[in-house]
Amino acid sequence: MGYVIDEIDQQIMRLLQHSARMSIVQISKEVNMSQPSVKERILKLEENGIISEYSTIYDLEQLNRGTTTFILLKTERCEELVHFCEQAAEVTDLYRISGEYNYLIKVQTATIEELAEFQDSLIKLGPSKSHISVKNIMEHRVLL
């Protein structure tokens, strides 16, 4: 059996999920544990792949990428789609899904016109349906 996460690990993970830049000193105060013990727990979580990476969340409005669109795509050209999405700066996420459409693409663009250009370049891969987000209600939710 793999590494077993206890309540203290969950507390540490919760704190890091809220702020990955939180210092070991601050975390140790929050969980009432010594700094070396906290550091050791974090290292074990990383070594066991439970914490796989740390990331930065950007304000996409500030970066002129505030239009979020979810595109459902039906294609048999799966490898070509993956390559296309890896090269497209607009694509932030790509999911293989079940149902009538087999892919869900999350796209961030500056304008509707930029989205239209992206959609035009996607046509060659298969039929799609686009859903433009009008409001972000919940994103990057803390799961613990």
d(CA 86, CA 79): 11
**What is the SS3 assignment for 54?**
coil
pLDDT one-digit tens code per residue, 133-142: 999 898 887 7
Inform me whether the pLDDT recorded for 98 exceeds 90.
Answer: yes
Q: How many residues does the chain have?
A: 144
In eight-state DSSP terms, residue 3 is: P
The model's confidence at residue 57, banded by pLDDT at 50, 70 and 90, is confident
Q: What is the pTM of this model?
A: 0.82
Contact 38, 30 (CB under 8 A): no
pLDDT reported for residue 143: 77
The model's confidence at residue 39, banded by pLDDT at 50, 70 and 90, is very high
Average pLDDT of the chain is 94
pLDDT reported for residue 122: 96
- Residue 99, sorted as left (phi over 0), alpha (psi -120 to 50) or beta, turns out to be left
Interval 88-96 mean pLDDT: 97
On the 0-12 / 13-18 / 19+ scale of CB atoms within 10 A, 105 is buried
